[in-house]
Amino acid sequence: MELAEAIAATTAVLAPHLDRASAGEGPVLARPPVAEVAERLQLARWIRDGGMDVDALAAWLEDYLALGIRLQHPASLAHQVAVPDTPAAVADLVHGAINNPMGIYEMGAAAATIEVTIVDWMVRQAGLPQPAAGGVLTHGGSLANLTALLAARAAHAPDAWTAGAPHDLALLCTPSAHYSIARAAGILGLGTDAIVALPVDDLDRLDPAGLPRALERAHAAGRRPFALVVAACATSTGLFDDIAAAADFAEQHGLWLHVDGAHGASALLSPAHRHHLAGIERADSITWDAHKLLRVSGLCAAVLVRDAQALERAFRQDASYLFYDDDETGDDAPGPDLLSRAVECTKAELGTKLFLELAARGERGLGEDVAARFAVAHQAWALLRERPGFSAPYEPQTNIVCFRVDGDDAHQVAVRERLLADGDVHLSSAVVGGRRHLRLVVTAPSTTAATLVDTIDRIAQASSAVCRSSSRCTPPPSPGPPPASAG
């Protein structure tokens, strides 16, 4: 298969697919049984026989795209992943063709230099001290959280690398922390029992007044608290913990402060929203995903640390074919070998995606893009609040909105399932304050106040349909004309 020809054929299928999805044509997603999908894509035959040429590729791609999710669709409102922009997509294509795994400088000087530059830019956005601060890009926020907590463990228990993790450490976080935090505790050998659940308010935000009691509880259990994790923002609600209050407490008690900004750190780029992150400049470590709000494909995340050396100390290991002592290479190494501070060995050219995005839009343009998604989410909240049969418990701070349709927790789940089965609207759900909510995340530029009115109508219809079929609830009032503020 010749590259230029294959790319042309792919683009000829892909570009109209993306246009149709953005225009709201076709279902948001399809979920046929896996055996049916394997059959339609002729997976077994292609694997056995090979021989896919450019024409066959184009035909096959049509099916492949039809059987996937259309994130560009205005009613694609379920998850936090970005709708990739063209410059970022081009970076993926180039990476796919050249494969410069730049964890070692000699394996891609351009990509490695871009990564270092992008990390430096992120460090400055977060206001971490320079030049001491540093970081690395990782394949996802979960890995960034793991890496940050590894650095925290190394700072408090330097022998853990050789002797194994002490069994009496305690990690303080809210119950609504992303699940990757608990996983990191498991993977790092701290054990999930090391997690001390912090008190929260009725929207699952950290209650700073409860921090001293949590610390006492950890001590009473014979544990040594070493790290405090806050959400900026919480995955479920999109609401920010009070970082400054957490920083005060962490400072007083010698705790490593990790700000999980996987989703919300991108708000730093918007002058209208960055106040939600006040205090982030006091963090010991920060996780920041570009593949959520910055229009790049998965994956592209960063772990940033206040003291770059802390990251080097987190990984103490030898592999003679990769790591060289300084006296072997001399001080004049032309560039950094980033694998000394990352879990990954082979790594993709993650920084190039974000760089090309910035190169096209500029940091201000990208910040405006973030603010635009937040604004549409705010409009969604305003519409839901006014609509009979719906309730929305808080004013959103990001592009994430939680709400309920009249009915019990099981009804929320049933409505989502119904919408999923129809394929017209894709929502997620989350437990907030102990109650199941429907959850929408505005990521597509095609989602506007106008498309939301239609989407909310469909949700109301699905709710009525579920009520009729289960006779468990009274149907909500039928959709009326859109409120005047719908614009």
Ligand X SMILES: *Cc1c(COP(=O)(O)O)cnc(C)c1O
Does 336 bind ligand X (CB under 6 A)? Our answer is no
| Side-chain half-sphere CA neighbours of 215 within 13 A | 15
To the nearest 10 degrees (0 to 180), the angle between helices 3-22 and 54-66 is 20
For residue 63, give every residue at least 6 positions away whose Cβ sits within 8 Å of its Cβ, in sequence order, or none.
40, 41
- Widest CA span of the chain, in angstroms? 77
Nearer to ligand X, 207 or 260 (CB): 260
Residues 216-255 that bind ligand X (CB under 6 A): 231, 235
Number of C-beta neighbours around residue 454 at 10 A: 16
Taking CB under 6 A as the rule, which mask of x and - marks residues 55-94 in contact with ligand X?
Answer: -------------------------x--------------
Does 263 bind ligand X (CB under 6 A)? Our answer is yes
Taking CB under 6 A as the rule, which mask of x and - marks residues 152-191 in contact with ligand X?
Answer: --------------------------x-x-----------
Distance (Å, whole) CA 349 – CA 300: 9
Among 24, 103, 140, 351, binds ligand X (CB under 6 A): 140
Among 241, 260, 349, 357, binds ligand X (CB under 6 A): 260
Token couple for 235: 């995955």
Nearer to ligand X, 76 or 180 (CB): 180
Distance (Å, whole) CA 280 – CA 212: 21
Distance (Å, whole) CA 17 – CA 62: 8
Among residues 339, 377, 332, 453, which one has the least CA distance to residue 24?
453
Locus of tokens 């225009």: 23
**Measured from the CB of residue 287, what is the shortest distance to ligand X in angstroms?**
6
Among 134, 141, 279, 367, binds ligand X (CB under 6 A): 141
Contact 28, 420 (CB under 8 A): no
Q: Which residue is nearest to ligand X (CB)?
A: 141
Does 142 bind ligand X (CB under 6 A)? Our answer is yes
**Measured from the CB of residue 222, what is the shortest distance to ligand X in angstroms?**
29
Taking CB under 6 A as the rule, which mask of x and - marks residues 282-301 in contact with ligand X?
Answer: -------x-----------x
Using CB under 6 A, which of the segments 26-34, 112-120, 256-264, 277-285 binds ligand X? 256-264
Distance (Å, whole) CA 121 – CA 265: 13
Q: Which residues bind ligand X (CB under 6 A)?
A: 80, 140-142, 145, 178, 180, 231, 235, 260, 262-263, 289, 301
